[in-house]
A and B are shown apart, each in its own frame.
Chain A
Amino acid sequence: MLSVENLNKSFKSDGGEVHAVRDVNFRAGDGEMVAIVGASGSGKSTLLSLLGLLDAPDDGSIEMNGTQLAHLDAQGRTRYRSRQVGFVFQSFNLIPNLSAKENVKLALEFADWPKEDRDARAEAMLAMVGLGGEKGNRRPSKLSGGEQQRVAIARAFAAQPQLILADEPTGSLDRATGQKIVELLRNAASTLKTTVLVVTHDEKVAQQADRRLEIEDGVLTEIA
């Protein structure tokens, strides 16, 4: 269970202070897929950064299964990211000189998974996203966009995180492939009982989520 209360984040810019996230409150249950929609500059990415502990909030709380995360130190945030959060990016962000399997194993390495289990776990995760067998040995450049995003999803779920943050996961894909990716995320969320937050501006993607939230000028509201 993810619980966010009174979360605020502001930045100083040339034009003065920008309040990117304002008093954000929401909850998301295990296995639930929540879509956050909003225009460019609405505060989506900032919110995702705060939830992924890539940035520290000015105030407010982020609680994951009863553990307060908002005020962890840098080491604690790194540890949390490696074990409790998985990221899926719009442009996949796979390491180009590593194979698909090695990319997945990277997340297991950072999460300190037992070395002897990493191979099997990576293969299982790739099989889960439909990239079993020989494709696991291919480098990202030898995979299609959809396949790369599948690898990214396998990597994100590999260390059994409690939270997946997907930033425009279909943004670089055609509609049909994007549809499959969303289905994959949704299935993985329910199967692995992982909370998935999908940031998107694509209404069709958002409609497939269990709940939809809209962010505008840093203010998050639930869409009925």
Chain B
Amino acid sequence: MNALRRGARNAFRNAMRSVGVVVILGVAIALSISMLIARGAVDAKISAVRSSTGNTITVSPAGFFAGQGGGTPLTTAQVTGLLSVPNVTAVQASLSERLSSTQTNLTSPTLAGSLGQRFGGFAGGASGSAGSLSVPIRVTGTNSPGTSLVGGANGGGTEKLTAGVAFSATSHADVAIVGADLATKNDLKVGSTFRAWGATITVVGIYDAGSTFANAGVLMPLATVQRLASAANQVTGATVTVNSLGNVSGAVSAITKKLGTAADVTSTQATVQSQLAPLNSVKTISTYTLIGAVVGAAVILLLSMLMIVRERRREIGVLKALGATNRSVASQFVAESTTFTVLGALVGGLVGVLISSPLTSALVSASGGASPTGFVRSGGGFTGAGTGFTPPAGAGGALGFRGFRGISNTLSQLHTSASWSTLAFALLAALVIAAFGSTVASATVTRVRPAEVLRSE
């Protein structure tokens, strides 16, 4: 039986103490593993949310948002001037308009209902008497239609071009891409025409965004809407794309400074950042708890091993008197502490994985991460990320707020899992604990003089 086997066997010499040490180590390791898993889950969620928010900034006329409020439109020059802001790579401008029943032959697929009656009194809004109220047609003029309608351009979901093509960014033509429900309601197909502001508009494409609201809209070239709606050079929103997530807040400041009080400048990132604050604090808590648990486990093992060495001082002297080398005796104690650690890691690993999910949820809840605020429509694609089409400012921005609530609502929905890296960490932590726990004990062992055993006789 060599020193390592003797050491491993010594770990079971005092059953009560062994169980105690293993349980304490197990609890500490379980805590550290669950904290690591929690940290990983929170980190993944933060990354996912951050990447989903994209690197866009929404610019709206001050006081105006998504067809509501008041104020003065921005000008095309103001919006295109944003391209000179450092780190801005693209600016997509949009103009939101409404077509009343006197301005178009289209009929909205959406019934007015009680909401339409309640909000039907605004200018350009629903028309007709209370009994025959019709919902106006939403028109968004955009200079960035792309070929694939992705990104929640018209109110939720992911819009996909189901027929036809998108118009070009610089188009002045009297063309439109219409929502699927609006097309069905008015029997529109690619090539069909409809009337708007006295002009004949040709349908070049049909999109499906997966929501009734979004599918009731019309997308037209920005220049066309500006001309037909007598809104030359007017813009009601812009989506500014920044070259990286890290530069978004700087760009927000620069744009705010450039446009002054004429515009409201918001970035999804800034809003998301505040929403993510609880998760960040959970991350911090879990990091410190993780370090504390590993250090605590190491100290517990260290003290236990020192106690054991002290108890066996005489035995160490005997072994040395019999010819055991310092290395041999020390390795015996290293093996003993490693056995404790391995058992603790097995118990702690299992318990840690089991408790990680409820513990993470509890931490997030305690930190205020779960704060659902009433009804939130799911699937509200608020980002401009993706290929091709990005949401025209205004429409997309409005959806942005819904999106933030969506984030808030899902912050507590963390996916915890023990990955290989978690297991590798557990192994590393166990090794650190075992090494720390046995180093001092081993050093103490080497100081025991074999002559002591004779003096104590």
Which chain B residue lies CB-closest to A81?
B323
Cβ-defined contact, B457 with A89, below 8 A: yes
CA distance in complex: A167, B449 (Å): 17
Asked whether A102 is an interface residue with its Cβ less than 8 Å from the other chain, the reply is yes
Asked whether A95 is an interface residue with its Cβ less than 8 Å from the other chain, the reply is yes
Cβ-defined contact, A54 with B450, below 8 A: yes
Cβ-defined contact, B323 with A79, below 8 A: yes
Asked whether B13 is an interface residue with its Cβ less than 8 Å from the other chain, the reply is yes
Which chain A residue lies CB-closest to B449?
A54
CA distance in complex: A87, B457 (Å): 12
Cross-chain contact of B322 among A75, A87, A96 (Cβ < 8 A): A87
Cβ-defined contact, B323 with A83, below 8 A: yes
- In this complex, how many residues of chain A approach chain B with their Cβ under 8 Å: the count is 33
Cross-chain contact of A82 among B6, B9, B322, B453 (Cβ < 8 A): B322
In the complex, chain A residues whose CB is within 8 Å of the CB of B318: 87, 89, 93, 95
In the complex, chain B residues whose CB is within 8 Å of the CB of A54: 320-321, 449-451, 453-454
Cβ-defined contact, A93 with B13, below 8 A: no
By size class, the interface of chain B is 20 to 34
In the complex, chain A residues whose CB is within 8 Å of the CB of B324: 78, 82, 110
Give chain A nearest CB distance to B150 CB in angstroms: 70
Give chain B nearest CB distance to A36 CB in angstroms: 13
Which chain B residue lies CB-closest to A91?
B457
Give chain A nearest CB distance to B320 CB in angstroms: 7
Cβ-defined contact, A111 with B323, below 8 A: yes
Cβ-defined contact, A97 with B323, below 8 A: no
Cβ-defined contact, A89 with B13, below 8 A: no
Q: Which residues from 423 to 449 on chain B have a C-beta closer than 8 Å to any C-beta of chain A?
A: 449
CA distance in complex: A32, B159 (Å): 104
User: Quick check: which of A23-31, A45-53, A178-186, A201-209 contacts chain B, the rest being far away?
Assistant: A45-53
Which chain B residue lies CB-closest to A159?
B323
Given the known A-B contacts A97-B10, A105-B1, A109-B2, are A52 and B457 also in contact in the complex, defined by CB atoms under 8 Å?
A: no
In the complex, chain A residues whose CB is within 8 Å of the CB of B449: 54-55
Residue among B2, B324, B451, B455 with the highest chain A CB neighbour number at 10 A: B451
Which chain B residue lies CB-closest to A106?
B322
Cβ-defined contact, B323 with A45, below 8 A: no
Give chain A nearest CB distance to B135 CB in angstroms: 87
Cβ-defined contact, A110 with B453, below 8 A: no
CA distance in complex: A54, B321 (Å): 7
Asked whether A34 is an interface residue with its Cβ less than 8 Å from the other chain, the reply is no
A-B contact pairs, 24 of them (CB 8 A): A45-B454, A45-B457, A49-B451, A52-B321, A54-B320, A54-B321, A54-B450, A55-B449, A55-B451, A82-B322, A85-B323, A89-B457, A91-B457, A93-B315, A93-B318, A95-B315, A95-B318, A102-B1, A105-B1, A106-B1, A109-B1, A167-B457, A168-B457, A171-B457
User: Which residues of A approach B to under 8 Å, CB–CB?
Assistant: 45, 48-49, 52, 54-55, 75, 78-79, 81-83, 85, 87, 89-91, 93, 95-98, 102, 105-107, 109-111, 155, 167-168, 171
User: Which residues of B approach A to under 8 Å, CB–CB?
Assistant: 1-2, 6, 9-10, 13, 314-315, 318-325, 328, 449-451, 453-455, 457
Additional pairs, 6, CB under 8 Å, beyond known A54-B449, A79-B323, A97-B10: A45-B455, A52-B454, A81-B322, A95-B318, A98-B6, A106-B322
